[in-house]
Chains A and B, each alone.
Chain A
Amino acid sequence: MSTLTDPDTGPRSTVVVPGRRAVRAGRFSGVLRVRTAVVLLVCAVALVLAAAVNMGRGDYPIAITDVLATLFGGGDAGQQLVVLELRLPRTLVGALVGGALAVSGAILQAVARNPLASPDIIGVQWGASAAAVFIIVLGGGAAGVGGAFASLGIPLAALIGGLVASVAVYVLAWRKGIQGFRLVLIGIGIQALLVAAVQWLLTVAQIYQAAQAQVWLNGSLNARSWNEVVPLSIAMLVLVPAALVLVHLLGALRFDDDTARGLGVRVNGARTALLLVSVGLASVATAAAGPIAFIALVTPQIARRLCRVGTPPIGVSLVLGAALTVLSDLIARTALGSVELPVGIVTAVLGAPFLLYLLARTRQEARR
């Protein structure tokens, strides 16, 4: 086993980099990586194909050519209804949510310097879950503050819950700065509280409420419509460019804090800004579709390996996460015939083997 080209060893690897063409635009500059551009293109094609197949499959099958024709204004009335009102928005929500989760995970893994970090670690997904289940279970009979909270509706409540929980983790983890490992530990503590809250709510719920909550908790794209697409798109339009602008800090944050400071990065400020973007993306995604497992964890690592770079690439993670989620939703909708599974179950089943693959590759010593 040669460790020379092993991405796991990060900055210590002695990969020979041939001269790359620099791309400059005013104050900003970057490097053109042909491999990354190719991977990005392939992922984008995969996304479009997965989306087209997804819109064609179901109780009312439509050929892919007809799907594409309908999208560009053709098709008969029935096809227009099914594609434009039902399957297109659902597919878009899947793509946006998957992209948001993947970018969120990519940022978080780079900040925590831990390839196994994902947004559920910093409380976002369980905070959102606790709030959503609270609404589902107590929405009808809650009074006072609870009643006012219940009138928000599940997505908004989940958004607030995720943000509140992650702020709590951040504030508690702050001691003369933010340190990745401490953030993870505090996250585990907060997560235990929120899991207990969710489980308790499920025991006091009526059984039909518990079933509804269980679907939400697995992450589902069922019955998602244009109502979710619009706010998701707006949030992504703000947060993804922010992530792309901040991404140059990630390279410096791979080193230890003193080295990063030496490179002129305000370490705690950079971490805070990056975490904000990560939490924002994870929160809007979870609010729209529930806590879908594994996309945030697995996508950045796959993208990193495909592109052969040190830190998870943001752009490729975005498109790849979208493609994986749409593909998983296609499987979830059609695998068991008429019974529809939540998309999160499919992503978990697809994601677990990847963890085992990481296991076969891991040569890092444990953090003691």
Chain B
Amino acid sequence: MNAIRVRPPSVQQPAPPRRSLRRRRLIGLAALAAALLLAVLASIAIGTKVIPVNEVFSALVAPTGSENDVVIRSLRIPRTLLGLLVGIALGLAGALVQGFTRNPLGDPGLLGVNAGAAFFVVIGIYVFGVSTLFGYVWFAFAGALVASVVVFAIGTRAPGGATPVSLALAGAAVSFLLQAGTSSMVLLDETSLDAYRFWVVGSLAGRDAAVGGQVVWFILVGTVLALASAPALNALSLGDDVATSLGHSVRRTRVVGVVAITLLAGAATAACGPIAFLGLIVPHVVRVFTGPDHRWLLPAAGLAGAVVLLLADVVGRVVARPGELQVGIVIALIGGPFFIALVRRRKLGAV
């Protein structure tokens, strides 16, 4: 252990890691980038409609307006870009939640984002008669925002401030209340139920480029905030007192973190519906090579989130031809067993 030399916070850096660790991180990041490139290509080339590779290539470089060209350029490319954005957002949000709450089971849904989005979407359908995916986005985003602000406000009022336990309890209570409201509305109104049951699964299908355009700025701002809070997260992982003595404002860091999580998870949920489990698992996977340093962990989690989401989407398009399996379901089916194996293999978060 190196002694901690206290410098002004702005230039404070931990001691440089050992060479082997740095090499492992670089190799890991390079592998992730390569996997992401492959996932993007797969997402463009493979789909419900079988299109030969040479035609995919010609659609990308020299489109002629044939049916296949239209499918690729107006359906698959926007869908891929949206998947990329949402995957990055969910991966980052998961890593942020786990970092801020110091809870290995942290999940973007912990702040009530999903329940809030669902509640507002159903209000949009039931009260305002909204029926387009484009219309859901703002309702979902507002709901995510309101829920996480309420959860954070309640959580910080608890004795001892926003501890992991108080946030989890506040999130659970608010989520349950919102779910009760959502359930009541869909029970009273079959039209709402009909729309809600497809929204709640989480899917990339049927979103046009406009949906991506609506959420891209929120995700960009959230990403910048997330990456900027990496050094502060490293200090927080040593405990609040240590972080304070290193010159970080714990309060300000937490507020920035909640804003970033809300923007990322809220935008992702608004665009695609609630996709559970991705944000929970991805950070655990990338920690294997990044270690606990958030300056590496956050970018890696973002990339890995995009890889998993895009690949799961491709799987969902292929397994149920001519139909599709929604990406949220594919992620649970792949992620559930993976998570169980992870728990059995290591002492994950054991006391």
Contacts and interface: CB of A to CB of B under 8 A. Distances in A.
Q: Sort chain A's interface into a size bin.
A: 35 or more
Interface residues of B, number: 53
A359 B156 CA distance: 10
Contacts of A358: 169
Contacts, number: 143
B158 A362 contact: yes
Contacts of A344: 183
A64 interface: no
A72 interface: no
B159 interface: yes
Interface string B200-241: 110000000000000000000000000000000000000000
A205 B344 CA distance: 35
B350 A172 contact: no
A214 interface: yes
B69 to A, nearest CB: 31
Interface in B298-335: 325-326, 328-329, 332-333, 335
* Secondary structure type dominating chain A contacts: helix
B343 A189 contact: yes
Interface stretch (B136-144, B174-182, B252-260, B289-297): B174-182
Nearest to B199: A203
Contacts of B337: 189, 193
Contacts of A362: 158-159, 165-166, 169
Contacts of A341: 184, 187
- Classify the interface of chain B: helix, strand, loop or mixed: helix
A218 B185 CA distance: 12
Contacts of B58: none
A342 B179 CA distance: 13
Given A200-B326, A345-B180, A363-B159, A193 B332 contact: yes
Contacts of B180: 293, 345, 348-349, 352
Interface in B140-196: 154-155, 158-160, 163-166, 169-170, 172-174, 176-177, 179-180, 183-184, 186-188, 190, 193-194
Interface of A: 116, 172, 175, 179, 181-182, 185-186, 188-190, 192-193, 195-196, 199-200, 202-203, 205, 207-208, 210-211, 214-215, 218, 293-294, 339, 341-342, 344-345, 348-349, 351-353, 355-356, 358-360, 362-368
